[in-house]
Amino acid sequence: MRVFQVMARPFIAFVERFYPDPFIFAIGLTFVVIAMALGLTPTTPIEVVQHWGDGLQKLLAFMAQISITLVTAHALAHTDLVHRLLIRLARLPRSAFWSYAFTALIAGIASLISWALGLIAGALVAREVGIQARKRGIPVHYPLLCASAYSGIVIWHMGYSGSAPLFVATPGNALEQQLGGIIPVTQTILSSWNISLALITLVLVPFICALMAPARENAIEVPAEFVAEDAEQLENPEADSPAGRSFAHILDHSRVFNWGIGLLLVAYLAYWFATEGLNLNLNIVNWTFLAAGLLLARSAAHYARLVGNASMTVGQVLVQYPFYAGIMGIMLGSGLASVIAEWFTAIASASTLPFWAFLSGGLINMFVPSGGGQWVVQGPIFIEAAKTLGTAPSLIVMGVAYGDQWTNLIQPFWTIPLLAIAGIHMRAILGYCFVVLLVTFFIFGGGLLVVAAG
């Protein structure tokens, strides 16, 4: 089916010619939002600057979290045991077609557990699948392989860590009074229609990714230096043996320290899950990666070197995320996000409101790439419209959630962690993601229209 190859070409050309670097994208988006806030809301220029400045620091905690995620996941992947396991996993696909499909499937399954896990697992699998394919002479197009990994995030809100569904299911949430109570996850994440749409997406997206593969002669394989690095780690497992028998060397290369602190983290995690249940948040994901990395490292000194090697993955996060925090500050502080949401509620009917919530969520996500953040803004507006029109609130919750995960595919904000690990530029993958965006529009939008129609 060459149709998807043909579909991908204009998007690839568009991204390569017109999509700026992610950092430039963030800066340009800032001025677009400033212009929109000044033109569409009564906010003054001074107030816009204030909202922007006040927002800059709002993602500092999240920046620290995602930086730790990147560093600990990268370090864990380069421990001897995990590296060998990744190699075995990456050897499962026996053709280019299944390499793409397999990578997208793994990333999708991981994303249903946690968006962060999906990004990291997808990046690690894509990189290793690319390396193993090159070693075996299978012509796999590495940009599409990474795009397949990134496409897995398109279903994260439909799973365990969906922000909006968990928000409305939590007693005491800000919308509980407006909703007349909580909305249990049995009506959102665990509803039969959401599970059905998630399964359809999980099956279709890997095949769409595989069907976009270019001709063998046009495949750009994983960089040779990645293969050399992979081989060096396998061939030099004793690189961390102490050079001498001094007391300092014995301490540096003893497993006592990394095992001791690793087991302490395991004890805390056991306590957490025993008291909180399967409550998986970004902090717990981080401590899990950290504990596993420490326990599997050859020594504390070895783990410190792995972390040092991984530090190159966090630079883009530290530079770009404050600008997105500033954009969020303008969108929320000026009321611009509410204005956009009201455009869609004004033209909706009872059966189309979830669909318009989906489109609104997708549009606002380009400016406020935070599932929880944009729900706080759009939720009250759409819930009030649902009460007036008689639409089930659970459909509104999932409509906004679907929109958020949908346009993540073309929002560079979320590509940064994956690209840092995969070692590839954003322009190389987003053209393919546009095709997945089109396909999932019909899955999510069409699904909501069918369910809302009864």
Q: What would the pLDDT profile of 80-135 be if each residue is shown by its tens digit?
A: 888 888 888 888 999 999 999 999 999 999 889 878 778 888 998 999 999 999 99
Look at residue 265 in the predicted model and tell me its pLDDT: 96
Look at residue 150 in the predicted model and tell me its pLDDT: 96
**What is the rounded CA–CA span in Å between residue 29 and residue 20?**
11
Q: Which amino acid is at 248?
A: A
Look at residue 233 in the predicted model and tell me its pLDDT: 62
pTM of the shown model: 0.83
Alpha helices in 311-352 (DSSP H): 315-333, 336-345
What is the share, in percent, of the chain residues with pLDDT greater than 90?
52
Number of domains observed in the structure of the chain: 1
Q: How many H helices and E strands in the chain?
A: 23, 0
Binning pLDDT at 50, 70 and 90, where does residue 271 land? very high
Instruction: Give per-residue pLDDT as tens, 417-428.
Output: 888 888 898 999
* pLDDT above 70 for 234: no
**What is the rounded CA–CA span in Å between residue 28 and residue 155?**
28
- The residue among 224, 222, 159 whose CA lies nearest residue 194 is 159
Q: Please, which residues have CB within 8 angstroms of residue 10's CB and are 6 or more apart in sequence? A: none
Other CB atoms within 10 A of residue 370 CB: 19
Question: Residue 433 sits in which domain range?
Answer: 3-243+251-453
**What is the rounded CA–CA span in Å between residue 360 and residue 397?**
12
Average pLDDT value over all residues in the chain: 88
Look at residue 253 in the predicted model and tell me its pLDDT: 80
* pLDDT above 80 for 249: no
Look at residue 242 in the predicted model and tell me its pLDDT: 47
Count of residues in the chain: 454
Binning pLDDT at 50, 70 and 90, where does residue 232 land? low
* pLDDT above 50 for 297: yes
Average pLDDT over residues 196-220: 95
Question: What is the full DSSP assignment across 198-216?
Answer: HHHHHHHHHHHHHHTPPPG
The C-alpha torsion from 153 through 19 and 316 to 336, rounded to 10°, is -70
Instruction: Check residues 392 and 67 and name the one with the higher pLDDT.
Output: 392
Binning pLDDT at 50, 70 and 90, where does residue 409 land? very high
